[in-house]
Structure 1
Amino acid sequence: MGKKTGKTEPAKADPVYVIGQDANGKPRGARFAELKDSIVSAAMDLKCRVLINPPAAVSALGMKLPVGRVYGGGKVVKLFVPNIRRELYDKILEAAGPLVDGEPAAEGADVSCTASENGQAKSEPDAATDDVRCISPVTSGLPRSWEEITVGHMVLAHESPDDGWWEAVVIQRDQEILTLRYRDAPKLPKFIRHINTVALVNPGPG
């Protein structure tokens, strides 16, 4: 038998980090091992900031957060986001920088985290990446350019000359190739479009 090197693989960074403040202004934060809309939507409903697959510097700090918990089912989902040290909270916010267009975050800048139920995007508990719910119509998350399009955004996809354009949710982006599903018909098969063939929805004032 070969000798063991004793080396271990570095821990894989979780894809989702949620930070905010509770009703008393105390910082809260949690990390989640899966990118699920039920987590993103519920966190946004709690008026927390959501960091999805952030840069390595942010992930390194985010991995110091406690593991979050998801409760409930169906259309009612609750998150448990425990209190964290103010120092860690400040470091994560500093590393993450200001909000950018399209970043999942709740409307309203108080960034408070209070107990709530169903996610702002009518989430579903088993929604993995293939089941990403649309975050755009309720928040400022509508993309302002084709370059900004990312997972969870709503775009318009052309079905046919007879059927016209329909709202579709981005569930994956690979460079200029989008994997989509129809927003109002989630049980229909997902489909692929080049980014230049979809239309943007007017996001309103900046």
Structure 2
Amino acid sequence: MSAKPAPQLVAEVPLRPMTPALVLFGRDDAGRPRAAWFDVSEAKLAAQAAEVMNLRVVQLADDEQRAFADLFTHGRVFSSGRAFVPYVRRELFPRLLELAGVQLDSDGTDQAPAAEDGPPAATQEPERGTLPRASTAAPPPPAPPGPFVGHKLPRDRDEIGLGSIVLAHEGPDEGWWEAEVIGINGTVHSLRWRDYPTQPTILRRADELALLPPAKA
């Protein structure tokens, strides 16, 4: 009985890690800072999304700036033309403003946009002998809460949300790999492998995820 030939080993060549090329940043309606980085292949679409979302764009010029941008979450551009740009820590925002050449106030924050010029609109007074008409317009309903944007490198499970980097595996013999949370539906998390972003999206329950070691987080 002849022996079976030994299987040939195929060397795996990992994809080139994505490198930050530019950062989109700004504030939401409540003044909370938000920012995300995009690589060179996403630069054009990210710049278009910045116009749609009224965000600033910072082109990264050197390794020091790219290392700073890596503190933020890797953003995504949606088919709608908008982008995923999560919230960031307030203490990082002044540095982004400096990179964008925005003049800072004495407290280290950017100046709020000035109000439009022009006289205030005149109010219409009721006719003499009549009572003012009460407004019948109902207040707008409160906006539904959006998905939780988590800490980029969570140290506790309560900090896991959109943009968080966690550990996941495809099987007990496959080992654990870094993955980014890109969607949450109840207790099910949608993730993409951080080093293999072109691989299909994976779904994992919250109890199937692990946190990065404290030394790396």
TM bin (shorter chain): 0.3 to 0.5
- Higher strand fraction: Structure 1 or Structure 2? 1
Higher relative contact order by CA 8 Å / sep ≥ 6: 1 or 2? 1
Give me the TM-score of the superposition, normalised by structure 2: 0.38
